[in-house]
Chain A
Amino acid sequence: MITNLFYFLSFVAVLSALMVVFSRNPVYSVLYLIITFFAIAGHYVLMQAEFLAVVHVIVYAGAIMVLFLYVIMLLNLNRESEPHKSNILKFAAAICSGLLLVVLVGSLRGTELLKHSEAGEVSSTMGGVKNLGKVLFTDFLFPFEIASVLLLAAMVGVVMLAKAEKKTNL
């Protein structure tokens, strides 16, 4: 049952991820990306990480993708106004994404598959809010705080950029 669900979700995730790249209409791309995020949230649920799944849906599908869709609808991109990139840019993009693929494969090659005995130890409360909170504020306190400072810096930066633009307009 769970294996079948896994294959189904993986199929949906991969297919819609491909459709993100191949669809001509940017609005369709965003909608396929939303489906991809839901499939990934389904994977989190399969791994007993309900909190992560729900936060994933709230943040990615519920907030970030809404803003993506918002911007794309405002720009109203269609085939006539589609920006045409030069061949050099396309070439550079292909090389960059190829390099990213190499990095990802390289980093994932070193990891070992979780052994079945270890996988059995994952309890149902593993991904729960209480456990996650405890782990975040004890073992991973430093990275957690660093991430929060990073987010704060990004927020302040955005506010500063918006303010500066306003001054030049006046």
Chain B
Amino acid sequence: MISFLIYKAILVGVVFGITLFIAAYSTYAERKVAAFLQDRIGPDRAGPFGILQPLADGLKFIMKEEIIPNVSNKILFVLGPSIAMLTALMAGVVIPWGSTLVINGETYSLQIVDLNIGILYVFAVVSIGVYGIMIGGWASNNKFSLLGAIRASAQMISYEIAMGLSIIALIMMTGTLSLREITELQTGAVGSSWNFWNVVYQPVGFLIFLVCAFAECNRTPFDLPECETELVGGYHTEYSSMKLGFYLFAEYINMFISSAVISTLYFGGYNFPFMNDLGMDQNIITIIGTIGLFIKIGFFIFFFMWIRWTIPRFRYDQLMNLGWKILIPLAIINIFITGLFGIL
């Protein structure tokens, strides 16, 4: 019992550390990708190729003067970024980061907890994540912040519906809500005892989920809450120092987590092609699988950035039209078609 708790505590620590590490280096990657797409060099001063840039940025955030506006609501002003950070970090708990490791005859699962409602837990965490933005924007007592907060909430609610409906089609197919079981159903990919990844069966569902993930993370082309051409800085106009850092950091963590969820749901999670044909030890397969999962996650993080530096921002009415008039009907049709195939 104690060793179980210690193992879980270590796993939580490792996942926490990796999440922060990847989020920090996503900021560096974002600037490098932007530079690459715009034919520039990007940050290259701090360390070789600028790889110490995240440390420099973090140090700068901490050293800056912290300004809390006099007219703001002080408690809620501090609470906003805290909630944003907290909810961003909570979703990593149910994601299966790998298969099982067998050490000295004992099995260790590379997942913090396998809830039988795993995917719904992710939804719950995502849906309360918007409070960080709303509370922060309102507490700033600034018209622009408030507009950003209101936009964020309306956008979140609208795209959550389409996201949920796209997941329902997937759940109808897999028959389980547990993320580990959904991953196990996609084992093999190609090779002996194979199964296709879910994206083969649910291409439309995947597309809807991807678009909604962009909207839920407030990434371009859906970053209306912080639209700097209209709203100065959106919900974080009044924020400075590390509190601003938390908001920006939470966005990168959300990106990492949603990439992990997309990889798990539609791209086989820790499964990789020919995994049953290599004839290797279970532990080695597990480690390769975990590396494979992180490669998939890396690709999706790159995809997030690729879109950001390619496509301009929507207008707000376009955003609402896309959400309510295109994605939701499409998701419902997708459910019908999935159900039809299920009966046949």
Per the 8 Å Cβ criterion, residues 128-143 of B in contact with A are: 128, 130-131, 134-135, 138
Per the 8 Å Cβ criterion, residues 101-141 of A in contact with B are: 128-129
A34–B153 CB distance below 8 A: no
Residues of B within 8 A of A (CB): 76, 115-117, 120-121, 123-124, 126-128, 130-131, 134-135, 138, 146, 149-150, 153-154, 156-157, 160, 177
State A70–B117 Cα separation when bound (angstroms). 29
A12 close to B (CB within 8 Å):
no
B153–A50 CB distance below 8 A: no
A61-B127, A63-B127 given; A31·B160 CB < 8 A: no
Cβ-defined partner of A63 (8 Å) among B138, B150, B160, B177: B160
Give the segment of A2-10, A16-24, A51-59, A91-99 that binds chain B.
A51-59
User: Which 7 residue pairs across A and B have the least CB separation, nearest first?
Assistant: A62-B127, A57-B124, A54-B120, A70-B153, A58-B124, A66-B153, A54-B124
A67 close to B (CB within 8 Å):
yes
Interface centre among A62, A63, A69, A73 (most CB of B within 10 A): A62
Listed A/B pairs (5) with beta-carbon separation below 8 Å? A50-B115, A54-B124, A62-B127, A66-B134, A129-B117
Chain B residues with Cβ below 8 Å from A63 are 127, 157, 160
A62-B160, A70-B150 given; A57·B128 CB < 8 A: yes
A51-B120, A129-B117 given; A31·B135 CB < 8 A: yes
Determine how close the nearest CB of chain A comes to the CB of B56; give it in whole angstroms.
Answer: 37
Residues of A within 8 A of B (CB): 27, 31, 34, 50-51, 54-55, 57-58, 61-63, 66-67, 69-70, 73-74, 128-129
B146–A73 CB distance below 8 A: yes
B150–A62 CB distance below 8 A: no
A62-B128, A73-B146 given; A67·B157 CB < 8 A: yes
State A74–B147 Cα separation when bound (angstroms). 9
Interface centre among B128, B150, B153 (most CB of A within 10 A): B128
B128–A61 CB distance below 8 A: yes
